[in-house]
Structure 1
Amino acid sequence: MYIVENKGGAIALILFAILCGGSFAPAMSFMERRGRLPQHIYLDYSIANFLVAVLIAFTFGQIGPGKVGMPNFFTQLSQDNWPSVLVAMAGGLALSLGNMICQYAWAFVGLSLVNIIVCCMIVDLGTTVNYFLDGRINRAEFLFPGVACFMVAVVLSSILHSSNAKDKKEKLSSLGVDFSANQISRDLEISKDSDAEGSNTAPNLAKPGTAEFLAQIEKRRSIKAAGTSTTRGLAVVLFAGLCFFVFSPAFNLATNDQWHLLKKGVPHLVVYTAFFYFYLSGFVIAVCVNIWLLYRPIASVPASTMEAYLRDWNGRHWALLSSLLCGFCNDFQFMGGQAAVFATADAVMASPLICTIWDIILFGEYRRSSRKTYFLLTSMLTLFVIAIGVLLASAGHRKTA
C-alpha cells in the first residue's frame, strides 16, 4: 500500500488536487451550456467517479505489503470496521448531494461564484471542525488568518456577482432584450440544429462578453435559469455548501476514528478503503436521483428516458474527464490530509482560483465588463492566492505509524 508520510509530499499532492478540483466543474458546465441534459451528464460523471475509486483502491491500496495497523484494501473489506464505513458513506452521500445541487446552481448563479461560496463554506466550517478533530496539530496562527481570507473572498465574490450581473443586464438592454430566458428565446433566433442535443457542432458564437454572446449562451443551455431570483439562486448555493462542509470531517472521522467507534484492536480505515466506501454511497444516491430526474426533471429541463441517455454520446467524454479530475482531486486531498492533517488539506477549496480562470477562458465570463468588476475580480483572486499560501503554511504532520 502506498502511503504519503512526509509533509512535503502531502503539500505537493494538495497543490495538484487544487488544479484538478478547479478543472472538473468547468468540464461539466461546458456541456450543459451546449444543451446536454444535466441528468445525462451526472449519470456519466457518477459512474466514472466510482470506477476511479475502484481503480485507486485496487492499485494504491494494494501496492506492496500492508503496515502495522494499516492493512491493505482487500484485507480491510472483511474486518469489523462498519462504524467507520458508515461514517465514510455518510460523507460520500453529502458530497454527491452537494455536487448534484451545484450542477443546477451553476446555471442560477454562475460557475465561479457558486464554487467560491461553496468552497468558502467548506473552509470556514469544515476546516474549523477538522482542526479540533485533528487535535489542533495545525499552526493556528496561520490556519485561522487563512480562513479569514476565504471569508473576505466570499464578501468580494458576492459584490463581484452583483456588479457582473449589472454589466450583463446593461449589455442585453442594448439589444432590447430583458435578462430572462423567455424573452431571449422570443427575441433571438439561433439555428434549431445547433440546439439539438446530440449535435457535436457548436454554432458560431458572437465575441465573448458581448450581449449577443450572453443571449446565445442562455438560449442554448439546457437549464433555463436566466432572469431567476438571485435570492433563490443563493439559497440553493448555501444548501449545497451545507452538504459539502460535512464530507471532509466525515472522511477524517472515518480514517482516524476520533470518536472511538471501532472495537479495540480493529485497525482504522486506510485512505483507500474509506475512499472506496465514500464513493460507493455517492454513486448509489447519484444514480437513483438522476434516473428519477430523467422522468421528473426540475428547473425547466426537458424530460428524458434511460434509452435516450444510453444513446446520448454527445459530450460524454467531457463528463468522463470531469469525473477523473474530481476523483483524483478528492483522493489526493485525502492522501495529503492523512499526512499533513485535514484542516490543511482543505486548502484544496481554493480551487475556485483555477475554476474562475477556466470560466474566463471557456465561457467568456467577466469579459468586456466594467472597471469595478475587473477590480473586484482581481482582488478576489489575489485573496485566494494568499489564502492558499497561508493555509499550507499552517500544515502540521500526522504520524502514520
Structure 2
Amino acid sequence: MYVVESKGGAIACMLLSLSFLGTWPALLTLLERRGRLPQHTYLDYTITNLLAAVIIAFTFGEIGKNTIEKPSFINQLSQDNWPCVLFAMVGGIALSLGNLATQYAWAFVGLSVTEVITSSITVVIGTTLNYFLDDKINKAEILFPGVGCFLIAVCFGSAVHSSNAADNKAKLMGFSNDYKDGSAVKGEAVSKETTYANKAEDLENGTDTREKAKFGTAHFLIELENKRAIKVFGKSTFIGLAITFFAGGCFSLFSPAFNLATNDQWHILKDGVPHLSVYTAFFYFSMSCFAIAIILNVSFLYYPVLNLPKSSIKAYISDWNGRGWAFLAGLLCGFGNGLQFMGGQAAGYAAADAVQALPLVSTFWGVLLFGEYRRSSRRTYILLLSMLSMFIVAVSVLMASSGHRK
C-alpha cells in the first residue's frame, strides 16, 4: 500500500483536503436554496461518498508489495482486527450524524457561520484528544494556543449570526406582518416574488431568465424563502445554533475514533495482528457512515423534520434535478476525508485538524454564490472580519505544530 511518510507530503494532503472539504457544503446548500429536499440530496451524496472510499482502498491500498507489517487492503479484510474496525465504524457514525445535522443548520445559520462554529468545536475537543492519542508528537506550546484561537472564533461566529439575523429582521420591517410571523405573503410588494417561486427551475444548470432580486435586499430574502426547501422565517435562531453545536460535537469525535482505529493506542488487537491501514479503516469508516445515513434519510422521507414535506423512495428515485451536484459533493467529501486521514497518519491527527480551515473556503462560496452578508450592518462586517482573521491565525498555528510519526 502507499504510505505518506514526509511532513511535506502530509501538508500537501491537508491542503488538497481543505479545498475539497470546503467546497462540498456549498453544493448541498445550493440545492437546498433551489428547493430540492435535503433527504433526496443527502441520499445521493451518501452514495458517492462511499464510492470515494472504495476507490481509495482499491488504489492506494493496493499499491506496492504486500508485507506482514504493511498488508494490502484486501488482505486486511480477512484479518482478526474487529476491535479496531469498531472504532473506525463509530467514527463513521459520528461523521454521518454531524454532516446530516449541518445540512439543516446551513438553512438557519448560513453556510459561513455554521462551518466556523462546527470546525472550531471540532478542533477544541477533537484536536485535544488527538494530541494525547498521538503520544504528544505535536508541539504543545504551539498547538494549544491555536486551539484557543479556534475557541475565540466560535464566539465570534455566534455573534455574527446574531447580528446578521437582526439585520435581516430590520430589512423585512417594511413588509407585511405575515412575513414577520413566518406565514404566507399577501402583499402586493411581494406578489411577483411569490409567483416566481411557483415556477419550475432547472436545478442542475441553475437556469433562470427572470430578473433576480439583488443580494442582501428584503426582496432577495423573501424570494429565497419562497424557493428554498427548509423554511426559516418565524423560526427561533436558537434552533439553528442548537443544531450547529450538536453537529460540532459529533465532528469532534470522528477523528479521535479513527486515530484509535489505525494506531491501536489501547492495545486491543491480538499479538501479531498488524494495525489497520488508513485505507482499510477508511473503508469501514465510510461503510458505517453510509449505513446510518441511509437508515435516517429513508425514515426522514416518510417522517420529515422541521415541517418539510413528505416524500417516498419512488419520488427520490425519480428526482434527477440537481442529482449531479449532489453526487459531486459526495465525491469531494469522500476524497477530502481520505486525504485528511492520510496526512494525519504521517504528521499527527492533531495537526491534520488544520483542514478545519474549510470555513475559509465555505465563506468564499457563501458570499460569492449565496450573497451572505450583503448589505449588512457595519457591526456584522466587523464581527465577520474578526471571525475570519482569528480563524486564519488559528489554522496557521495549528499547522505549524505538525510533528512526524515514527
TM-score, normalised relative to structure 1: 0.96
**Tell me, what secondary structure is at the counterpart of 1:191?**
helix
Q: Does 1:366 align with 2:373?
A: yes
Which residue in 1 is equivalent to 2:218? 211
CA distance in 2, matches of 1:204, 1:216: 12
Q: Partner amino acid for 1:291?
A: V
* 1:204 to partner: Cα distance: 3.9
CA–CA distance in 1 between the matches of 2:109 and 2:197? Answer: 26
Contact map agreement 1:35 1:197 (CA 8 A) in 2 = no
Q: Secondary structure at the match of 1:226?
A: coil
- Which residue is equivalent to 2:21? 21
How do 1:88-237 residues align onto structure 2 when only pairs under 5 Å count?
A: 88-176=88-176, 180=180, 182-183=182-183, 185-187=185-187, 188=190, 189-194=194-199, 201-202=207-208, 204-237=211-244
Any idea what the Cα deviations from partners look like across 1:254-298, whole Å, max 9, x if unmatched? 000001110011000000000000000110111111111111111
SS in 1 for 2:306: coil
Deviation at residue 51 of structure 1 after TM alignment: 0.8
Alpha-carbon distance in structure 2 between the residues aligned to 1:241 and 1:17: 19
Cα deviation code 1:316-366 (max 9, x no counterpart): 111011111111110111000000000000111111111111100010001
The residue number in structure 2 matching 1:44 is: 44
1:385 aligns with one of 382, 392, 395: 392
What is the number of residues matched between the two proteins?
A: 399
Give the root-mean-square deviation of aligned CA atoms: 1.7
Residue number in structure 2 paired with 1:278: 285
Distance in 2 (alpha carbons) for counterparts of 1:90 and 1:47: 19
Shift of 1:194: 2.8
Aligned mates of 1:178, 1:147 — CA distance in 2 = 44
Partner residue of 1:255 out of 262, 270, 274:
262
| 2:328 is aligned with 1:321 | yes
Q: Distance in 1 between matches of 2:107 and 2:195?
A: 20
Contact 1:35–1:195 (CA<8 Å) still a contact in 2? no
Q: Structure 1: 5+ residue runs without aligned partners?
A: none
Deviation at 1:373, TM superposition (A): 1.2
Q: 1:278 to 1:75 in 2, by over 3 A?
A: same
Corresponding residue of 2:294: 287
- Give 1:127 shift: 0.3
Deviation at 1:383, TM superposition (A): 1.3
- Paired with 1:181 and 1:280, the residues of 2 have a C-alpha distance of 43
Amino acid across the alignment from 1:144: F
CA distance in 1, matches of 2:221, 2:245: 25
Change (3 A) 1:311 1:103: same
Per mean C-alpha deviation after superposition, the further-off stretch among 89-98 and 227-236 is 227-236
Residues in 1 aligned to 2:340 and 2:169: alpha-carbon distance in whole angstroms: 39
Given that 1:169 and 1:178 are in contact with CA atoms closer than 8 Å, whether structure 2 keeps it comes out as no
Q: Is the 8 A contact 1:17 1:328 kept in 2?
A: yes
User: What is the TM-score normalised by the length of structure 2?
Assistant: 0.95
1:338 to 332, 345, 351: 345
Amino acid at match of 1:323: G
Q: Which residue in the other structure is 1:264 paired with?
A: 271
- List runs of 5+ in structure 2 lacking aligned partners: none
Aligned twin of 2:310: 303
Contact 1:255-1:270 within 8 A present in 2 as well = yes
Q: Which runs of 4+ in 1 moved over 6 A?
A: 196-199
Q: Percent identity?
A: 57
